[in-house]
Amino acid sequence: MNLLNRILLLSLFTLVSLVIAGCNGLSFRTNADEYVTYQATATTVDIYQPSELYNHDNEPLGEVMTTYCGDIRKDIAISAPSINSLQKELKVQTRERGGNALIITDCGKVIYPACSIYLECSGLAYFLKS
């Protein structure tokens, strides 16, 4: 091994050692855990049509609802959530009540004077026993 290769190898080793030592005690803060938990919670609830649900032994848990009010003039950088994300929020609320089934009764745009964009989703949460 010639001198140049030894110097390069030693430099690489020193650089890697400094990087590892410099990251000692470094911590990262993310909301990845919250996001994964939210996604997992939403996937444990299924959406049913009323005719499908009534064929099962079920326990009603009440109404769930979520809304979004946005002002385009002020919130240009923030886009309105999708209908799918509002439905996912209903699933999370259903799961928090101990449910595993959801009937979406209404979901979409609604006219509301204080908001230039107003989205509302509502549904009925159930626990299916069978």
pLDDT of residue 18: 52
Work out how many domains the chain is built from and give that number. 1
CA distance 87 to 120: 10
User: How many Å apart are CA 50 and CA 58, to the nearest integer?
Assistant: 12
Query: How far is it, in rounded angstroms, from Cα 89 to Cα 46?
Result: 13
> Which tens digit of pLDDT belongs to each residue from 2-27?
776 677 776 766 665 655 555 555 44
Element (H, E) at 77: none
Q: Output the domain CATH number for residue 99.
A: 3.30.110.70
| Tokens encoding 63 | 């109404």
Burial class (CB in 10 A: 0-12, 13-18, 19+), 82: exposed
pLDDT of residue 55: 80
Model confidence, pTM: 0.65
Integer Cα distance of 39 and 35 in angstroms: 6
Distance CA 49, CA 104 (A): 8
Say if CB 105 and CB 124 are below 8 A apart.
yes
% of the chain residues with pLDDT over 90: 41
pLDDT tens digit sequence for 41-73? 567 899 999 888 878 899 999 999 999 998 776
What's the chain's average pLDDT? 79
Structural domain span for residue 40: 3-128
Q: What is the pLDDT of residues 91-117, one digit of tens each?
A: 999 999 999 999 999 999 999 888 888
Instruction: Name the token pair of 56.
Output: 């099962």
**Residue 30 scores a pLDDT above 60:** no
Who's near 38: CB < 8 A, 6+ residues apart? 88, 92
In whole angstroms, what is the distance from residue 59 CA to residue 61 CA? 6
- Whether the per-residue pLDDT at 121 is higher than 60: the answer is yes
Q: What's the confidence (pLDDT) of residue 27? A: 47
Count CA atoms within 13 Å of residue 20 on its CB side. 6
